[in-house]
Amino acid sequence: MVSDRSKLGFYLLLAPLLLWLVTLIILPHIGLFIVSISEKVGVREYEIGLGNYAVFFNEPLYWRTFARTAFMSISTTVLTLLLGFPIAYYIAKLTRGRTKTTLFLMCLIPFWVSELVRTFGWMILLRETGVLSSFLQYTGVIGGPVEFLYNDGAIMVGLVYTSILFMIVPLVTTLDSLDDSLIEAGYDLGGSGWSILREIVIPHAMPGIVSGCIVVFMLSLGNYLTPILLGGKDSLWFTGLIYTQFITRFNWELGSAFGFLLLGLSSTIVFFGLKLSRQSLSDTMGR
């Protein structure tokens, strides 16, 4: 009787999660997969086949955009890590109590406004008539107005900015758990700042680094708004291509195929990333 009741409770508690997984993730993906392997042979006539995937490999624009997106996302991840690590180290190890909370909160505050507004903020700063251009003209560094928007650099800046919090949070958590006496022991045994970072701090922070990198990489790869707004019409971001297939071209079949290729790409890169850093997914995400 008791076990029956506790079983019922277990399934009731599990129900929202199952509903969410099945209806919002598994079912749509099954649907999209069926669409992606349907080739259009005539009006409202479809055949099962991998033709949509073949289009991707035969058209250089598509797979080049794909490679470019992957490369830029990896660069964003590396850049975010390089910028986020010192910030996280400072927050976790060099500040105490109130200052720590304040600094952590200051990293969080920009995320209270939507991504769209934040991206527009960067547009105000970087556009031809924007703050940066005007300032450089005022100080005499440049003669005329310069357009800082609509290039890869601008995309990168925007992507790093939107995702750095997701790097800092796991890093602060893992660095917080590093016992200060380990660092002191390292110094005491004659280690320099660099060797302690390499041999003690980074190995300890590895799960945080990897989980931060996975999140940032996924966010950048799947980002649509930032590359389109800051990169303009030449941004050539893979999510942009998917959007075009679905909304502009009404080619759901090709769009779905692209979607699955993106899923495959991100999973492969994360897999190799984990192999390279010798971490397991459950280690990094299960904390």
Partner 1 sequence: MAQTADLECCDLTKDFDNFRAVDHVNFVVPQGSFFSILGPSGCGKTTLLRMIAGFQFPTSGDLLIKGQSMIGVSPNKRPISMVFQHLALFPMMNIERNIGFGLRQRGVPSSEIKTRVGRVLERVGLPGIQDRQIGQLSGGQKQRVAIARCMVLEPDVLLLDEPLGALDLKLREHMKIELKTLQAEFNTTFVYITHDQSEALVMSDSIAVMNKGKFDQIGTAKELYYEPANSFVAGFVGDANRFEGKVTALNGQIVSLITDAGITIQGQATTQVPTIGQHAQIFVRPEVIQLSKDPVPNKENQNSIKRVVNNVLFNGANSMVILCDPKSGEKIQVTLPQKGAFLELDKGDTVYTSWKPTQARCFTSEVH
Among 12, 43, 141, 189, binds partner 1 (CB under 8 A): 189
**DSSP state letters, 42-104:** ETTEEEESSHHHHHHHH-HHHHHHHHHHHHHHHHHHHHHHHHHHHHHHIIIII--HHHHHHHH
- Cα end-to-end span (Å), the chain: 36
Q: How far is the CB of 184 from partner 1 (least distance, A)?
A: 6
Residue 126 or 210: the one with the smaller Cβ distance to partner 1 is: 210
Binding mask 138-177 for partner 1 (x = CB under 8 A): ----------------------------------------
Q: Which stretch binds partner 1 (CB under 8 A): 141-149, 160-168, 193-201, 238-246?
A: 193-201
SS3 118: helix
Binding mask 227-246 for partner 1 (x = CB under 8 A): --------------------
How many residues touch partner 1 (CB under 8 A)? Answer: 17
Widest CA span in the chain: 83
Among 200, 228, 270, 285, binds partner 1 (CB under 8 A): 200
184 binds partner 1 (CB under 8 A): yes
203 binds partner 1 (CB under 8 A): yes
Structure-token pair, residue 33:
């997969």
Among 110, 121, 145, 191, binds partner 1 (CB under 8 A): 191
Q: Is 40 exposed, middle or buried (0-12, 13-18, 19+ CB in 10 A)?
A: middle
β-sheet bridge partners, residue 224: none
User: Where are the extended beta strands (E) located within the chain?
Assistant: 38-42, 45-48
In the complex, the residues that contact partner 1 under the rule CB under 8 A are 179, 181-182, 184-192, 195, 199-200, 203-204
